[in-house]
């Protein structure tokens, strides 16, 4: 996004605009599906780290969003319900050798290191990729993970499934098995 903003600024400067013309847009235009995917995930990360009305409103949720673990979807929430962080909580009974409650928002918010954002299938830490839930396999997948986990036990992924309009339709999380 910063590169796009820099390009817009450079174009204005090179065009000889003296600043008296039309004001540039507040946000650079999304130029591709990849840009829309990354913008959606960036907004989700911002909401996870500072859950408030402003950051929630910036996340391009579809009218309803499915939440899941790995390749299964379990909960169906309205976009409005997702404003409340506890609405993101899933029961991880017997999931990857764990039991208890997990939340995609909590994983993102609690990560102390840098995050890595990618798109498409990705390794399951040191294992082959996990397939997406069948209901969203035709959507674009944008992924956030710890950039440098200490090992597979510290690895996790949050995958957002984004439609052609840039709306998040599903979010899954996955963990490594202990």
pLDDT band, very low/low/confident/very high, at 31 (cuts 50, 70, 90):
low
Furthest C-alpha separation in the chain: 63
Stronger pLDDT, 51 or 112, i.e. the higher one = 51
pLDDT band, very low/low/confident/very high, at 30 (cuts 50, 70, 90):
low
pLDDT of residue 92: 84
- The answer to whether the CB of 68 falls within 8 A of the CB of 168 is no
- What are the pLDDT digits (tens) for 41-86? 999 999 999 999 999 999 999 999 999 999 999 999 999 999 999 9
| CATH number among 3.90.550, 3.40.50, 3.10.450, 1.10.8, domain 32-175 | 3.10.450
Asked if residue 27 has pLDDT above 80, the reply is no
Residue ranges per structural domain of the chain: 1-31, 32-175
pLDDT of residue 137: 97
- What are the pLDDT digits (tens) for 113-160? 899 999 999 999 989 999 999 999 999 999 999 999 999 999 999 999
CA atoms within 13 A on the CB side of 98: 15
Instruction: Mark 79-88 as b/e (b = at least 16 C-beta within 10 Å).
Output: beebbeeebb
- The answer to whether the CB of 67 falls within 8 A of the CB of 89 is no
Asked if residue 100 has pLDDT above 50, the reply is yes
List the structure tokens of 43.
Answer: 């907004």
List the structure tokens of 47.
Answer: 């909401």
pLDDT of residue 178: 73
- Residue 117's alpha-carbon distances to 17, 45, 81, 94, 144, in angstroms, are 35, 10, 25, 28, 5
pLDDT of residue 99: 85
């Amino acid at each position: 996004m910063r590169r796009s903003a820099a390009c817009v600024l450079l174009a204005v400067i090179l065009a000889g605009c003296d600043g008296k013309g039309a004001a540039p847009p507040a946000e650079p235009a999304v130029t591709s599906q990849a840009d829309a995917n990354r913008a959606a995930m960036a907004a989700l990360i911002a909401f996870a780290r500072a859950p408030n009305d402003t950051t929630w409103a910036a996340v391009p949720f579809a009218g309803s969003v499915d939440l899941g673990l790995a390749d299964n979807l379990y909960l169906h929430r309205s976009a409005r319900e997702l404003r409340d962080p506890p609405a993101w909580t899933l029961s991880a009974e017997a999931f990857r050798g764990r039991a208890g409650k997990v939340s995609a928002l909590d994983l993102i918010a609690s990560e102390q290191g840098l995050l890595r954002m990618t798109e498409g299938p990705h390794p399951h830490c040191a294992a082959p990729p996990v397939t997406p839930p069948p209901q969203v396999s035709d959507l674009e997948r944008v992924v956030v993970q710890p950039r440098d986990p200490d090992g597979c036990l510290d690895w996790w992924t949050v995958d957002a499934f984004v439609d052609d309009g840039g709306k998040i339709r599903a979010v899954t999380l996955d963990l490594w098995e202990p």
